[in-house]
Structure formats: structure tokens, C-alpha cells
A = this chain, B = another copy of it.
Amino acid sequence: MESTAAEVSGELSRIIPGHWEVPKALRASMYYSLMAGGKRLRPLLVIAAAEAFGGSRPAAMPIACAVEIVHTYSLIHDDLPAMDDDDYRRGKPTNHKVYGEATAILAGDALLTHAFYSIVQAGRRHGVPAERLLSIVEDLAEMAGARGMVGGQAADMAGEQGITQLQELKFIHLHKTGDLIIFSLLAGGRIGGASVEQLEGLRRFGRDLGLAFQIQDDILDLVGDEAKLGKATQSDVQQQKVTYPYFVGMDASLREVERLTQSAKQALVDTAIPDPARLMEIADYLMKRDH
């Protein structure tokens, strides 16, 4: 997983060509956040899903980069003063602290736009059939948009005035985090030539995995090691953010992560994904991670 993540980072470092007529600060700002590290979880899922069907890694890689680009833009915008107002992310100053708010907003906009460009360009280069590429574009536009990731963030912002029900928190987790994870799996599956039923299996896997991932995040924010997380733990408590353990307690939260991880893996078995080992490995890794 680490070597694949490094490979993804290498690709990302080349994805905004230097010869472009792009204003310097804008380009630097895009690059800064793309290269700010992170687990590269979503790219790993794209590649693992493609390879689960014998799909080609070179064809999956640009889609893997595109989803990380979208994830990166969402972090830049989420960190803005008008949103979560965060000064640090992964131990480094956030984009707007370095480049200013205007450039940070524009860098986010440019990254989101560039994700679609990368998908089409690279898909063609690798001979991915046009119909399949269109489905990937369509999935991304749906799952990253108003009823997907952006909708989840909007609900999160609205909920800061007080989430009163577990259902609301689940809606936020499912969309803000879950939808892009689901997209990653579907895109990989499409690259690999998954059937409609298998895509449905990947969707179930992604939904359960995404929720488990976010509950684990809530747990780690309460009990995690500051050095490993790269941010102050208990920050959610200080900000009075409502988390999963707040509603159901720590023990039930831990059990829910395990239950969801099992359920995710079962979805791959149920829909006869040919080679699901890597996907299952990622699911287990996420459950056991401490940062």
C-alpha cells in the first residue's frame, strides 16, 4: 500500500504541467495542497478495485489521481475561514494561510475542474471506451456534487448549530466522506469492466467502508495520538462537534466499525468480485489504523 501511495504521489506531482500559462501563485497553491501528503486512500481504492477485475494499473492511475484532486480541492475549501477555519492540516499550514483566501478558493475551483480534464485526457490515452469514461464523469459529477460530497459538507456546516439526531450525523458522514469513496470503487470497477451486479457490490462495500472510516476518525479524534494524527486530538470536543461516540458511546462505536468492516467485505463475496484480496486488506487496515 505504501509503494502504491508513493506512486500516486509521483503521478500527482506531474499532473499540472509546468509549461501551462497559469498564474504562478495559482499553480503553486494547487501544487502545495496536492503534495501535502495524506494516506492517498481514495487512489488506493481506485487501483485496488480495478485490479480486482484484472484491470490495468496504468489506466486506473489517472482516475486515481483525479479522485485525489477532488479530495484535495474539498479540503482546501473546507479549511477556509468561512467554513471550518483551520490553520493546520497534516501538520502544515492550510492553503489559505500560505497563499491567501482568494488564491485558495481559486485553487480549489481549478483542481475540481482539472479532475474532469484528467479523466477524459488519460482515459483516451489508455483507450478506455468512451461510454465507460462518460459513466465515470457522470458518477464523479453526481457523487462530488450537491447530493454528494458538497451536500454533506453543507449539512455539516448547517449542523454546527446543533445536530440532534444520529440520522443527521450519518447523512453527513455518508455524503461528505462516503460518496467519494464509493466513486473511487465504482470508477475502478468500471476501468476493470465490472458487471452491473458487481458495481452494486462495490457500492455496498464503499458505503459501509466509508461510514466505518468516518466513525474511526471520530474515535481517533477522541483517543488518538497527536503526533500521529498531525492535529490536536480532542479538537472535536473543543469545537463542540457532535461525533459518533457522542451518540452511542465509545464501545458501541468500536463495535460498529468492526460490524461495518465485516459487512463491507461480505458485499465483495456476495457479488463474486474475482480478486477481492487487496480491497479486503485495505478495509482491515483502515479498521486497525491509529492515525
**Interface positions of A (Cβ within 8 A of B):** 16, 20-23, 25-27, 30, 73, 77, 80, 82-83, 100-103, 105-106, 108-110, 112-117, 120-121, 123-124, 130-131, 133-134, 137-138, 140-142, 144-147, 150-151, 153-155, 157-158, 171
Contact = CB atoms under 8 A, between A and B. Distances in A.
Contacts of A106: 77, 150, 153-154, 157
Stoichiometry, as copies per complex, reads 2
A110 B150 contact: yes
B141 A114 contact: yes
A22 B147 contact: yes
Contact of A116 (B124, B131, B137, B158): B137
Contacts of A147: 20-22
Contact of A105 (B27, B80, B140): B80
A126 to B, nearest CB: 13
B105 A120 contact: no
17 contacts: A22-B146, A22-B151, A22-B154, A23-B158, A77-B105, A77-B109, A83-B105, A103-B157, A106-B150, A108-B109, A109-B150, A110-B150, A113-B146, A117-B142, A120-B138, A130-B131, A134-B134
A102 B134 contact: no
